[in-house]
Copies of this chain bind each other. A is one copy, B any other.
Amino acid sequence: MAKIQGKRNSTKKEVIIEKASRLFREKGFGAASMRDLAEHVGVEAASLYNHIQSKSEILQTICFKVANEFMTNLEAVEASNQSTLKKMEAIIRLHIRMMLDQYEFVYIADHEWRHLPEPYLSNFLNQRRNYRKRLGDILEEGIGKGEIKAIDPYVAVLVILSAISGIDSWQRSRKSTSAEALESNMVKYLIEGLKK
């Protein structure tokens, strides 16, 4: 049975996935070994397999957890009755926040999905394509209604998502740019390019 861990309010499987996310980001999925991971969890490598089925399963869990979270949020935004600009701002802000406080997970979903085994790889890429398509549709609708500038929606989505995912190279140590300032400045830049 999956019981509650003593210290924290999380199962050991969750601890494993959390530690793994850090390791996968630092070394890359291929270069991170199960023995490495085991050491960080405080256990022998073989013992990991009492909680997970394979190394790939960890990657799958992380990637689809992130994908589902973004997708759920997108659906909420789509169903809302805001203006196009407000919708885009909501999405942009969510992406930035996710990047800031679920950094490891988002990073892996962004950069290590290549190592997903089939059929999960195709599945993941389909979801991603679908997500971007629907973001583009929001922009296109906004253009049709004359709410935003007539920019190529595909390029705009590319720019917005890539810009945010680039926060991974942000130097958290810099005092000059706090998380809040980063978010507001980035929103400003990205939204400004959409306004008429």
In chain B, what residue has the closest Cβ to A183?
Answer: B155
- Residue picked from A155, A164, A165, most chain B C-beta under 10 Å: A155
Whether A166 contacts B161 in the complex (CB less than 8 A), given A31-B115, A114-B28, comes out as: yes
B-contacting 9-mer, from A39-47, A53-61, A174-182:
A174-182
In chain B, what residue has the closest Cβ to A28?
Answer: B30
Judged by a CB distance under 8 angstroms, whether A188 is at the interface is yes
**CA A146 to CA B159, docked complex, whole Å:** 26
Judged by a CB distance under 8 angstroms, whether A94 is at the interface is no
> Copy number of this protein in the oligomer?
2
A interface bracket (residues with beta carbon within 8 Å of B)? 35 or more
Cβ A159 vs Cβ B189 within 8 A = yes
**Which residues does A use to contact B, with CB under 8 Å?**
26-31, 111, 114-115, 151-152, 154-156, 158-167, 169-170, 174, 176-177, 181-182, 185-186, 188-190, 192-193
Cβ A155 vs Cβ B30 within 8 A = no
**Set of chain B residues within 8 Å of A193, measured between Cβ atoms:** 189-190, 192-193
**Set of chain B residues within 8 Å of A158, measured between Cβ atoms:** 163, 166-167, 169-170, 186
